[in-house]
Amino acid sequence: MAITVSIPTILRTHTGGQKSVEAAGTTLAQVIDDLEANHGGLKSRLVKEGSLHRFVNVYVNDEDVRFSGGLEAAVKDGDNVTILPAVAGG
């Protein structure tokens, strides 16, 4: 069993159009590194200067990772990671 990562429309150019892909790791940072290994270009859209980019929201199951350790958030097999673009502006 792996971790299922759901990919928003804007990032599907990196996954060949797939809405969800599988990845492995025990922290969100490892999951993102694993994503990058298989779908090059994703990491720079998610991480900036060692923390999550302000343009994205990342959830492990139903938990916004900003409240559960950010890139160090724990992830286990069977979890769902959801990436959504932040909807914001001025």
Partner 1 sequence: MIRRDLVDAMVAHARRDHPDEACGQIAGPEGSDRPERFVPMLNAERSPTFYRFDATEQLKVHREMERNDEVPVVVYHSHTATEPYPSRTDISYAQEPDAHYVLISTRDPEEHELRSYRIVDGVVTEEPVQVVESYMFAHTGVDDTPDGS
Q: How far is CA 64 from the centre of its chain?
A: 11
Told to check if 71 binds partner 1 by CB under 8 A, we report no
65 vs 3, 7, 18, CA distance in Å? Answer: 15, 16, 23
The verdict on 84 binding partner 1 (CB under 8 A) reads yes
Among 22, 64, 72, 77, binds partner 1 (CB under 8 A): 64
Choice from 7, 10, 16, 78 touching partner 1 (CB under 8 A) = 10
CA distances from 85 to 2, 9, 46 (A): 23, 9, 10
Q: Single out the segment in contact with partner 1 by CB under 8 A; choices: 22-30, 31-39, 70-78, 80-88.
A: 80-88
